[in-house]
Amino acid sequence: MSVGKWIVSHRLTLTFLLLGAIIFLFVVVPLVKMLLSSVSEPDILWETIMDPEVTGAIGLTLLAALIATLFGFLLGVPLAYLLARTNFPGKKLVESLIDVPIVVPHTAAGIALLFVFGRRFFLGEAFSTLGIEFVDSTAGIVIAMMFVSIPFLIDSAKEGFKKVDVRLEKVARTLGASPWQAFFRISFPLAWRSILAGNIMMWARGISEFGAVIILAYHPMIAPVLVYERFETYGLDYARPIAVILIFVSVVVFVLLRTLAYRGDRQ
Amino acid sequence: MIDIKNLCVDLGDFVLRNVNLTIDEGEYFVILGPTGAGKTVLLESVAGLYPIQSGEIWLRGKEVTRVEPERRKVSIVYQDHVLFPHLSVRDNITFGLKMNKARPQEIALALDKVIKLLEIKHLLHRKPGTLSGGEKQKIALARAIITEPELLLVDEPLSALDPETREGVQQELRQLHRELRITILHVTHDFEEAIALGDRIAVIGEGLLKQVGTPEEIFRHPNSEFVARFALTKNIFRGQAKKKPDGDIVFSIDGTDFVVATGAEGSCRASIRPEDILISTEPIRSSARNCFPGTISRINDKGSTLYINVSVPPEISCLVTRHSFEEMGLKEDKKVFVTFKASSVHLF
C-alpha cells in the first residue's frame, strides 16, 4: 500500500491523533515547563521544601482534603445507594442539586457556606456553642473542600451501585440476609471500585480547591492559598516552587491511588 | 402447603389479577406462560421480594404476606444464576448458612451433603466468572438448597443453557426433588420443560391464571385457545357442534364434519393434537371414525420429525417421523388421507 493510500485509509485516526495531541500538550506543557524551571534553580526549590510554612500548608491541604473525603464517604455513600436503588418524586431534582457545586463559581460557594456556617445563622451558632468554628479554621477548610468535591463521590458511587444487579441483593435476602447484611456483604463490596474511584476524585478535587476555601478560611493557610499569597506578595519566582511541590505531591498520590484501584479492578 | 389467595401484582404495563393457587407439600409445580406474563414477578412476590397490591400468601399454614424475605424460608434460583461474583463458589454456597449464624461444623456438614448431591466438589475454589453456564446453575441450586428452604423457587432455570447442558440440569432438578422431597415452584415459557418436570402445571397469560392441571390434562384437555396454543396443539378450530339423527355428535368446520366422542352442541372450539393424526397415501380401514382425503399444502421440517399440513379443508397439521415421511414419499400437492379417532377431538 502506498503512503498516500495509507493516509487516506487512516484519515480519521490521523485527524483525531492530531487534535488529541494538541489538547494533551495543552495540559502537559505548562506542568513540565514549571517543573523544569524549578529544577533548574535547585537552591530555591530546596529552600522552599525546607520552609516549615510550605510543608505545613501542604500537609494541611492533604489532611483537610482527607477529612472532607471521610465525611463525604460516610454521608455520601448512603445517598448514592438510595439514588441508585429507589425511585421517589423529585429524584431528578435531588440528583441535579447534588451536582450544582460543580457549576457554581467556587467563591460564590464559599460565600454561601459562610452564610450558613458563620455565626449569623443558627447552624454556625450551634456549632460554635460546641466549640467548632468554621471561619478561619481547619473545620472551615474541610467544609469548603467537602462542598465543592462531594458531587464526584456521590456520582461515582451511584453509578457503582447501579451496576450491581439488584437481584444479587434479592437472592441474599432470601438466603437470610437482613437489608444491612445484603448491603455490606453484597452491594458495597461490588460497588467498592467505583466508590474508591469517587473517593480519590473527591480527595484530589479537595486538594485543588482555592475559591471556596479562601472565602471561609484564609488562615490557616492551605497550599493553593499560599501559592496565591506568595505570588501576590513576592512574585512568580517565589510562588512557583510551592506550586511545583504541590503538583508533584498531588500527582504522585493521585497516580498511586488510581493504579491501586485499577489493579483491584483487573482482579 | 403453599396457598396463594387472590394475589394481585402491578407490573407497570399490566396487572396480574386474582391468582389463586394451592401447591401441595413436596409437589413439583410449574407455572407456564409466555415471556412478559409476570411469572418472575409472581415468584418474587412469593419470596417477599416484590410488593403485592392485594391478596395473601400462606406457607405451611402461616400467612407470610408481609413477612420479610429472610424469614420466609423460601429460596430462589434465577435464570441467569445471579451468583455473587466477588465470592468463591464455596462462599456462594455457604452464604445462607453464614447469614443464619450456623456453626462451622454445621456448615461443613451441609456443604458436604450438597457437593455430593450435585457433584461440584472440584468447583469450590473457583470464582463464578470462570464457570460454564451449567456449572453456574448447579452452584445456584446448591446455594438455594443448602439452607433447607420450605419452598424452592426456580425461574426459567434451563433457558440460558445449551440443549445438552439443559438435559443435565433438568435431570438434576428431578433428582433434587426426588431425594430432598422439596416443594418446588418453577416458572418457564417452555411447554416441553413443564411437561417433563411438573407434577402439576398452571398456565398463566394475559394477566390471568388460565388453567391448572396435571400435564396430561393441560396436554389433552386445554380449556382455552390460549392454553391449547401454548401446549403446542397446532390444530385449533372454531366451528359448530351438533347432534346428527344417527346420534353421533359432529363438529362442523368448512363443510367438513369431525365425529367427536363427547361434547355439547353449539358454537365451540375443537383441538386435535398433530401426533394423534395418521397420514397415509391410501384410506385406512380402522376403528377411527374420521378419515378425510386432502392435499399436502406445507411441510415444516423439524429434523427427526416433520409437521405436514394437509388441506381437507380445513388445514390439518399432522406429525410424522422422518422414516414415515420418506417411506410414503410425501411432498407438497400430493394427495393423502388423514385419519384420527373421535376421542382425539377435544371440544372446549
CA gap B43, B246 in Å, rounded: 52
Answer whether B81 touches A (CB < 8 Å): no
Do B262 and B114 lie in one domain? The reply is no
For residue B131, what is the domain's CATH number? 3.40.50.300
Task: Give the residue from B227, B261, B287 where a domain finishes.
Answer: B227
DSSP code per residue over A149-178: HHHHHHHHHHHHHHHS-HHHHHHHHHTT--
Nearest to B147 among A170, A175, A185 (CB): A175
Domain co-membership, B215 together with B284: no
Residue contact B47–A174, C-beta within 8 A: yes
Q: State how far the Cα of B291 lies from the Cα of A102, in Å rounded to an integer.
A: 81
The shortest CB-CB distance from B84 to any of A168, A178, A181 is to A168
pLDDT higher than 90, residue B10: no
pLDDT tens string A218-250: 989 999 999 999 999 988 888 888 888 888 888
Q: Are residues B96 and B208 in the same domain?
A: yes
Question: Which residues touch A148 (CB under 8 Å, ≥6 apart)?
Answer: A101, A102, A106, A109, A205, A206, A209, A211, A212
A177 CB within 8 Å of a chain B CB: yes
For B77-88, the pLDDT digits (tens) are 998 999 999 999
Q: State how many domains chain B has.
A: 2
User: B202 and B239 share a domain?
Assistant: no
Considering the domain architecture, whether residues B152 and B268 belong to the same structural domain is answered as no
Quick check: A264 contacting B, CB < 8 Å? no
Question: Which residues of B are less than 8 Å from A177 in CB distance?
Answer: 70, 95, 99
CATH no. for residue B262? 2.40.50.100
A73-116 tens-digit pLDDT: 999 999 999 999 999 999 999 999 999 999 999 999 999 999 89
B118 and B246: one domain?
A: no
Whether B283 shows a pLDDT value over 50: the answer reads yes
Percent of chain B's residues with pLDDT above 90: 42
**pLDDT attached to residue A14:** 94
B215 and B240 share one domain = no
Q: Which of B238, B162, B223, B159 is nearest to B191 (CA)?
A: B159
Q: Which of B227, B255, B286 is the last residue of a domain?
A: B227
Contacts of A82-91 spanning 24+ positions with Cβ under 8 A: A83/A154, A83/A158, A84/A158, A84/A159, A84/A160, A84/A161, A84/A162, A85/A161, A85/A166
Nearest CA in chain A to B146: A175
Domain ranges of chain A: 1-40, 52-266
pLDDT digits (tens, 9 = 90+) for B180-227: 899 999 999 988 889 889 999 999 888 888 899 999 888 888 888 888
**Domain-terminating residue out of B202, B227, B252:** B227
C-alpha closest to that of B58 among B25, B82, B90 = B25
pLDDT at position A263 over 80: no
For residues B116 and B41, membership in a common domain is answered with: yes
CATH class of the A52-266 domain in this structure: mainly alpha
The residue-averaged pLDDT of B66-75 equals 94
What are the chain A neighbours of B86 within 8 Å (beta carbons)?
A: 189-190
Do B184 and B266 lie in a common domain?
A: no
Residue A169: band (very low, low, confident or very high) from pLDDT cuts 50, 70, 90: very high
* Per-residue pLDDT tens digits for B223-255: 888 888 888 778 888 888 888 887 788 888 888
Q: Mapped to the 3 state alphabet, what secondary structure does B122-169 carry?
A: HHCCCCHHHCCHHHHHHHHHHHHHCCCCCEEEEECCCCCCCHHHHHHH
Specify whether B131 is located in the same domain as B28: yes
Count of CB atoms situated within 10 Å of the CB of A243: 22
Q: Are B183 and B150 in contact (CB under 8 A)?
A: yes
Whether B148 has its CB under 8 Å from any CB of chain A: the answer is no
Q: Would you state the pLDDT for residue A1?
A: 67
Is B197 in the same domain as B259? no
Same domain, B336 and B286: yes
In this prediction, residue A267 carries a pLDDT of: 46
- Domain range for B304: 233-347
